[in-house]
Amino acid sequence: MKHFNDKFFGERLQAASAARQAMLKRAEKRPADDPKVLQRQAERQAIAAAREARQEAKAQAAIEQRAREEAEKAELAAVAARMAREEADLAVATQAEQKAVRDARYAARKKRKA
């Protein structure tokens, strides 16, 4: 059974050859001094330069963020160390106070017994 658009073999070969020639013509390299090629090349260079600038800015921002985080960590560590020293000093002072009270009690008891 024949199809509606059934062509002869020669016609199909000619159409395929014409399509192949059209593809080759489109894929053909243009000369380097062609304005379209130069314009496209300039656009690509501008895009690449903008991409590099964005990546550099992003990397710089990441470095600054890390530096801020490190500064915050150092500040928190300093605050924690100061708090620990204050707590230790308070504990020593409390123990000294308790010892003084205990010694006073012992001295009073000795004085009463003697």
In tens digits, the chain (114 residues) has pLDDT values of 455 566 678 888 898 999 999 998 888 776 778 888 889 999 999 999 999 999 999 999 999 999 999 999 999 999 999 999 999 999 999 999 999 999 999 999 988 887
Residue 37 CB coordination number (10 Å): 13
Structure token digits, residue 36: 């379209």
Q: Is the pTM of this model over 0.75?
A: no
74-109 burial code (b ≥16 CB/10 A, e <16):
eeeeeeeeeeeeeeeeeeeeeeeeeeeeeeeeeeee
